[in-house]
Chain A
Amino acid sequence: MGRYIVRRLLQLVPVFIGTTFLIYWLVWSVPGDPFAGKCGDRPCPDNYIQVMTEKFNLDQPLYVQYFTYMQNLLQGDFGETFGGRSINDLIAAAYPNTIKLAFVALAVEALIGLTAGVLTGLRRNGFLDNLVLVSTLFLIALPTFVTGFFLQYLFGVQWGIIKPTVSNPPSFTELLIPGFVLGSVSMAYVARLARTSIAENRSADYVRTAIAKGLPMRRVVGVHLLRNSLIPVITYLGTDLGALMGGAIVTEGIFGINGIGREVYRAIVTKEGATVVSIVVILVLVYLVMNLLVDMLYALLDPRIRYE
């Protein structure tokens, strides 16, 4: 197992290089001249474009730009935005908020989704089952801006329970509603995946044996059934953390959270390669680590799964 982990960590290196280059290339291929839209409804002055082009090596070929970026990166310098802001600062300010938000969302989604999934998996096709299905699907059908808008309006404006926008940096309690909004889209997946696994394993021999042995139902479900049913759910949750971090732009906007979503979007449309790559590379590292953790969890949950 130890060697497996080391090997997986070593794989980070090629993935890191591959991703940074792929993303650098993609940003570079985003259509549009970064300075065409900087000066409103008229072209920017030549001298401004010239100074910026030289400062950011934009007239150099792609690979030169990439290597310059990587060189600086290896020295711990992510570079700076076209606006002259240090990307290191930007990441330090925005990432913790996004990570916090994503974890709250993941927790909310796992908690609600798993509870709903276990309950409905044990009693399929009942009223609760249908209610959970329809309501979680409805959350998928409603775009985030609608869920966010309604919850903000009800809790923040109408009832005054929360502040409509969070403070900086946001506290965990302030992130509960935004986390729910962000996680709501994935709740259906968690609930359904859990439900299916539970239902499948419900009739498995070891569950019957456990019940026959006279173990209390709570223990049967909590230890035997849940544990063996968690693999698909954990897999999904593992992939979702990164998706939540990368896809939080609307939620961050609605609740005024200073996160990476807006920065990535802004950087993509203005072709700020260094900003996009720096932010996304960290996202990819999160994916890699999460997936490694999930793979480790497989072995814990199901001893038949081994890595050699």
Chain B
Amino acid sequence: MSDPTMSSMVTTPRAEQPTAPGATAPTDAGLPENQQADKPRGLLGDAWRDLRRKPLFWISSFFIVLFLVMAAFPSLFTSADPDYGTLSRSRVGPSADAWFGYDVQGRDVYARVIYGARASIMVAVLSTLGTVLIGGLVGVIAGFRGGWFDAVLSRIADIFFGLPFVLGAIVILFTFNPPGANRGEFEIIMLVVASLILLSWPVSMRIMRSSVLATKEADYIVAARALGASNLRIVFKHLIPNCLAPLLVYSTILVGSFIGAEATLSFLGVGLQSPVVSWGVMINESQNYIRVSLYLLLFPAAFLVTAVLSFVMLGEAVREALDPKMR
């Protein structure tokens, strides 16, 4: 039951949304006339038209494709064995032989960064997708249905929130991957992804819920409902596209956090184990040598930043294309 004094206290103008939703394609409303001229297109079609013209989109896509190729076929980029090392070249700095130098075990840092793309990108992208899908979906339901539904879902989220990352990760990963189980690389990656999703979906849920709460009373939603649109249609056609921005922004940065989180798990001895290498693990391994061999930290960190930057930029481009308010 809302307190009537509450709204009267607040005197600032309401956030008006772009006005005049059309009956057939409300989200096209903000578009210039010439774009609406030819055949009616869906949201995605518009977005694609918009995207194609953005250099930012192409640059970031190029990098992401590059990283994906690197993850799939690392041997295209280097002929060195990322796993072979000999202590005689321990911490030998960058040179013509090894562009990024050798790590403390005498392994080729360039080769390891290339091979590290697979685990890092896979874990980060899959975990982010999972977090966004689950968190986003739960957030939409909680925000849209409200009341009893919202209470239950939000409190479940609170409980998952409260779990310490280390505790949850140790228990989950150790239960499914005890030492000596000798699971394959892919299986462990999937386990890591699953535990990261399980332990981090509540934030996405809260963010999505907050946007839904703010948006669901907007005029165009009210209008759509008045026109007899089904809940499902309202949610998918109107609510989600208009609420996606904060979650998208959050999730692209989350890619970077997950790369680090994966390394924490390896460091605790429950994540990926050598010879599987990842950027996060390389960054962690550099910990003791930052005063003498800073490059051991900088090269994997640079790859990580570039990758996250690409995802953030791509997310930015996609969001601008998808978001009717930004046209």
Contacts and interface: CB of A to CB of B under 8 A. Distances in A.
Interface of A: 1-4, 7-8, 11, 14-15, 18-19, 22-23, 26-27, 29-31, 133-134, 137-138, 140-143, 145-146, 149, 185, 188-189, 192-193, 196-197, 199-201, 203-206, 209-210, 223-224, 227-228, 231-232, 234-236, 238-239, 242-243, 246-247, 264-265, 268-269, 276, 280-281, 283-284, 287-288, 291, 294, 298-300, 302-308
Contact of B202 (A239, A269, A283): A239
Given A232-B207, A239-B161, A306-B7, 5 more contacts: A137-B253, A141-B259, A192-B253, A268-B170, A299-B2
A137 B1 contact: no
B99 interface: no
A283 B304 contact: no
Interface of B: 1-3, 6-7, 10, 12-19, 147, 151, 154-155, 158-159, 161-168, 170-171, 174-175, 178, 202-203, 206-207, 209-211, 213-214, 217-218, 245-246, 249-250, 253, 256-257, 259-260, 263, 283-284, 287, 290, 297, 301, 304-305, 308-309, 312, 319, 323, 325-326
Given A140-B256, A205-B16, A146 B290 contact: yes
B295 to A, nearest CB: 13
Given A200-B323, A305-B217, A246 B164 contact: yes
17 contacts: A14-B155, A26-B168, A31-B178, A137-B256, A141-B259, A141-B304, A192-B250, A196-B319, A234-B210, A236-B206, A236-B250, A264-B164, A280-B163, A283-B164, A284-B162, A305-B213, A306-B2
Given A140-B260, A235-B210, A304-B214, A284 B158 contact: yes
Q: Main SS of the interface on chain A?
A: helix
Contacts of B245: 196-197, 200
B202 A206 contact: no
Contact of A137 (B6, B19, B309): B309
A308 B2 CA distance: 5
Contacts of B202: 239
